[in-house]
Amino acid sequence: MERTERQYEQMARWLDGETVVVSDELLAVAEGIRRDEQALRTHLDVPVPTAAMDRARRRMSTVLASPAARVRRLFVAAGVVAAAAAVIAAVLLWPSAPDGAPTRTIVQEPQPLVPAEVVVKIYTESATDPALSLLASEIDALEAEMAMAVPQTPVDLEIEVLQRDIDDLLVDETLPVLPEDFRQPS
Amino acid sequence: MDPQRLRATIASAQAGSPESYQALLETYGPRLYGYFYRATGRHHDAEDLLSELTLRLVRRLPKYDHRGRFEQWLFRIAANMVRDRIRRLKASPLTVSMSAQDDSGQSLLDRMPDRAAAMVEAGVLAEEASAKLNAALMRLDETTRQMMLLRHFAEMSFKEVAAIFECPLGTVLARVHRGLQTLRRMMGAGDGTD
């Protein structure tokens, strides 16, 4: 039997614990929905694999301990975003020429796309600086858009798996120890 | 975590305490993993998303204004991540059948010692039940699935779900109701509402 939007709203408010008057018929429906939800909940939970939590813990430790490393990874992984951030940072952080000053085109040595100190400044000071906070948010949004814009092929997925492995290697920040057999004799 | 302790932990994390961040991860990590798994249907993606969420938590928590709705804030971030991930999923998950026979006529189960095989078979059955629920959830439209999962894992009210999805309150319940009926049919349960 079809219910109206209004009837569903009444039942939703009742289920949320609000004081609303519902008919006996709607009350029966709402109680049935509650039972179904409770039955579903007994099956939804899944144990989290130890490896998944360990990986999340390691990732968090690394992020908290090494913000420069985190920023470097973001820079490498999102070259286009970093280039856009450089343009925005240049506009926001460097003073413009005074009005009326003559403009000249000067040929300069190529500069790094994003000086490291600028990127560090963006992410470490964004909590207190509204402009940098906006910039950090824009970088987040651009990253998400980039991730969604490119359709993934099987090769893309393989690259993603490799990138994850690389990230994990960087997170671990350990180097494999050469077994004795492979050490060169002195 | 009780509200007072949560407030103190959040404040400590915002002040830069790594231990407090880890405490938040320990408290919410299992539920977040469960949500990611049920939302994407894949352990691989759930693990990736949980790891990625730690980065977002560290980045965004300093700007979070605690008004007693931390879980809802956290799961809103998680829901956006799921939405982005689902849009990128193109390939089906790779699965290995324990019972399928190879060219020699033997399956993986046949080649395992009996006791190990029994344990694996029990685990496989449990996993198959969970996989059946996953398959049923994946048959729902994404919005309905997300609404149902957020109701459970994020403990959101219908009102809060309506705010996230920017739709009328009655619409949320109508979708959840139909989703529950669909799941019941697919899982082969008995009589239910309406």
Q: Is B189 on the interface with A (CB under 8 A)?
A: yes
| pLDDT at residue A16 in the model | 96
Which residues in chain A touch residue B180, judged by CB atoms under 8 angstroms apart?
33, 36-37, 40
Which residues in chain B touch residue A32, judged by CB atoms under 8 angstroms apart?
192-194
Q: What is the mean pLDDT of residues B72-94?
A: 81
Rounded Cα distance, B42 and A166, in Å? 21
| pLDDT at residue A86 in the model | 76
Flag if A70 and B159 touch (Cβ within 8 Å).
Answer: no
pLDDT tens across B156-176, in order? 999 999 999 999 999 999 999
Q: What is the mean pLDDT of residues B70-74?
A: 92
| pLDDT at residue B92 in the model | 53
Q: Are B158 and A15 in contact (CB under 8 A)?
A: yes
pLDDT tens across B128-148, in order? 778 889 889 989 999 999 999
pLDDT tens across A11-30, in order? 999 999 999 999 999 999 99
Query: Computed from CA positions of residues B87, A41, B24, A59, in that sequence, does the dihedral angle turn out positive or negative?
Result: negative
pLDDT tens across A112-156, in order? 555 555 555 555 555 555 555 556 555 555 555 555 555 556 666
Flag if A60 and B25 touch (Cβ within 8 Å).
Answer: yes
Picking from A4, A42, A48, A58, the residue whose alpha carbon sits closest to that of residue A26 is: A4
Measured between CA atoms, the residue of chain B closest to residue A145 is B84
Q: Is B175 on the interface with A (CB under 8 A)?
A: no
**Band of the pLDDT at A177, cuts 50, 70, 90?**
very low
Average pLDDT of chain B, as a whole number:
83
Q: Is B169 on the interface with A (CB under 8 A)?
A: yes
Q: Is the pLDDT of residue A38 over 60?
A: yes
Rounded Cα distance, A126 and A36, in Å? 45
